[in-house]
């Protein structure tokens, strides 16, 4: 093995380690949200753990009896409340299930909330430090006469930064798809661009229909806008568009940061909706292995990429954990609401079984989508 190969291997290991640390940090923040809310509301906490598996480090508080531990596998963590499963430790007056339903709901929601707040902070820091990511036109496709004269006047130009479509600010590619949806070849739209350091509105005649079936059909956007293509080193043809940072004013940047975080959350619901309606398949999803792989590739590209991928993971964790899927915080909130409304809980053992089955199904789903991702490669 030559020196270059060794450096490549070490670089790959470092990238994966960084990705795992990002995931571990987000999960730890999530569990810390549960912990802080539990302490404020006087829940009994047995252990706060970073990671899973055998303990590498542990320390027990003499005052509260809480155990803090760091474990071998850095792919998770937990905050263990007394009597949380409704089976063990329920006799304690400070047990999780003995607390009022509204208090339990606060503790459950605090985890995803912490994920979102950290993600929002990362977005704000990134946008102020580096600017907001926007799409940059690399080249425009050539058009043969007689259409050439028409399209040359109503076309984007090389170097244009895309800011708005039909007056709507572009944060993600899905915003552009929403603005163009159901438009057809020959329709005229307005695109706000930054050209030569100045913002201007450019009218563009679409060169293709925009009949999007799913959020995966990004190529239709670039085709309709008339972008050119470029063949890269791998021999594959790509649309000639890239990402570039653009700075807005102070208050606009602050407002855009909040909207950007909401947009990320919205895409998660959009993808889930497309999955349930059959517009995309399971192979479009990714489990923990795929997440680590993509994170390791993006996080090392630049400091801005690091902030962006960390924020994206944070918002994803916040939204995903609030879904009413057994074993997740969202489903536990549902059980608390049932108890609050009907003043009688679902039998604890039944609830525990439901969450256990849900946990197994989530793990199975994660394994399946990762296998499908590797099958595509």
Task: Tell whether 63 and 89 lie within a shared domain.
Answer: yes
Task: Tell whether 92 and 150 lie within a shared domain.
Answer: no
> How large a percentage of the chain has pLDDT more than 70?
92
pLDDT in tens, 19-44: 888 888 999 999 999 999 999 999 99
- 210: domain CATH number is 2.30.42.10
Q: Is the pLDDT of residue 286 over 80?
A: no
Q: Is the pLDDT of residue 82 over 80?
A: yes
Count the domains in the chain. 2
Task: Tell whether 96 and 22 lie within a shared domain.
Answer: yes
Q: Is the pLDDT of residue 71 over 90?
A: yes
Residue 256 domain flag: no
Task: Tell whether 161 and 191 lie within a shared domain.
Answer: yes
pLDDT in tens, 56-69: 999 999 888 899 99
Residue 278 domain flag: no
What radius of gyration do the chain's Cα atoms show? Answer: 25
Task: Tell whether 226 and 333 lie within a shared domain.
Answer: no
Residue 215 domain flag: yes
How many whole angstroms separate alpha carbon 178 and alpha carbon 165? 10
Task: Tell whether 140 and 84 lie within a shared domain.
Answer: no
> What is the pLDDT at residue 1?
47
DSSP 331-356: HHHHHHHHHHHHSS---HHHHHHHHH
Confidence of residue 220 (pLDDT cuts 50, 70, 90): very high
Task: Tell whether 175 and 91 lie within a shared domain.
Answer: no
- Does the predicted model carry a pTM greater than 0.85? yes
Question: ∠ CA 167-212-207 to the nearest 5 degrees?
Answer: 65
Task: Tell whether 83 and 136 lie within a shared domain.
Answer: no
- Take residue 238 and report the two structure tokens written for it: 């790509």
> What is the pLDDT at residue 233?
74
Q: Which of 16-20, 65-69, 148-152 has the lowest mean pLDDT?
A: 148-152
Confidence of residue 288 (pLDDT cuts 50, 70, 90): confident
Q: Is the pLDDT of residue 12 over 90?
A: no
Give mean pLDDT, residues 290-295. Answer: 79
Bridge partner residues of 230 (DSSP): 238
Domain that includes residue 169, residue range: 132-246
Q: Is the pLDDT of residue 162 over 80?
A: yes
Bridge partner residues of 245 (DSSP): 133
Q: Which residue did the predictor score with more confidence, 308 or 369?
A: 308
How many whole angstroms separate alpha carbon 129 and alpha carbon 235? 35
Q: Is the pLDDT of residue 75 over 50?
A: yes
Residue 279 domain flag: no
What is the signed CA dihedral for 104, 105, 110, 115, rounded to 10 degrees? 130
Give mean pLDDT, residues 154-165. Answer: 92
Task: Tell whether 197 and 231 lie within a shared domain.
Answer: yes
- Take residue 228 and report the two structure tokens written for it: 């050119």
Residue 262: CB partners within 8 Å, gap ≥ 6? none
Task: Tell whether 142 and 227 lie within a shared domain.
Answer: yes
Q: How far is CA 140 from its chain centroid? A: 31
Q: Is the pLDDT of residue 201 over 60?
A: yes
Q: Tell which of 199, 226, 246 closes a domain.
A: 246
Task: Tell whether 19 and 124 lie within a shared domain.
Answer: yes
Residue 269 domain flag: no
């Amino acid at each position: 093995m030559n020196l270059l190969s060794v450096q490549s291997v070490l670089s790959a290991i470092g990238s994966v380690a960084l990705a795992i640390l990002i995931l571990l940090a987000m999960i730890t923040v999530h569990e810390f949200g549960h912990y802080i809310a539990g302490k404020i509301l006087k829940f009994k906490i047995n252990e706060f753990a970073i990671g899973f598996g055998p303990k590498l480090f542990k320390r027990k508080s003499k005052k509260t009896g809480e155990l803090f531990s760091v474990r071998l596998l850095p792919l998770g963590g937990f905050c263990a409340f007394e009597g949380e499963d409704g089976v063990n430790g329920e006799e304690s007056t400070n047990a999780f299930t003995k607390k009022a339903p509204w208090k339990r709901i606060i503790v459950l929601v605090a985890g995803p909330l912490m994920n979102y707040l950290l993600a929002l902070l990362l977005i704000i820091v990134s946008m102020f430090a580096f600017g907001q990511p926007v799409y940059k036109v690399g080249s425009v496709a050539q058009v043969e006469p007689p259409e050439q004269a028409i399209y040359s006047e109503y076309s984007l130009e090389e170097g244009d930064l895309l800011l708005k479509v039909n007056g709507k600010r572009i944060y993600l590619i899905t915003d552009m798809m929403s603005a163009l949806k159901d438009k057809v070849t020959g329709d005229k739209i307005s695109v706000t661009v930054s050209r030569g350091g100045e913002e201007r509105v450019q009218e563009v005649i679409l060169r293709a229909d925009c009949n999007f079936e799913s959020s995966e059909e990004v190529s239709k956007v670039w085709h309709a806008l008339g972008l050119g293509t470029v063949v890269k080193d791998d021999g594959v043809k790509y649309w000639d568009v890239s990402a570039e940072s653009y700075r807005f004013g102070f208050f606009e940047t602050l407002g855009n940061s909040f909207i950007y975080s909401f947009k990320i959350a919205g895409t998660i619901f959009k993808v889930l909706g497309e999955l349930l309606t059959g517009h995309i398949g399971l192979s479009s999803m990714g489990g923990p292995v795929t997440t680590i792989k993509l994170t390791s590739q993006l996080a090392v590209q630049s400091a801005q990429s690091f902030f962006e991928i960390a924020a994206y993971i944070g918002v994803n964790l916040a939204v995903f954990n609030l879904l009413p899927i057994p074993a997740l915080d969202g489903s536990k909130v549902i059980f608390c609401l049932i108890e609050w409304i009907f003043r009688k809980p679902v039998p604890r053992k039944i609830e525990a079984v439901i969450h256990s089955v849900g946990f197994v199904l989530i793990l199975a789903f994660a394994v399946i989508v990762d296998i499908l991702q590797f099958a595509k490669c």
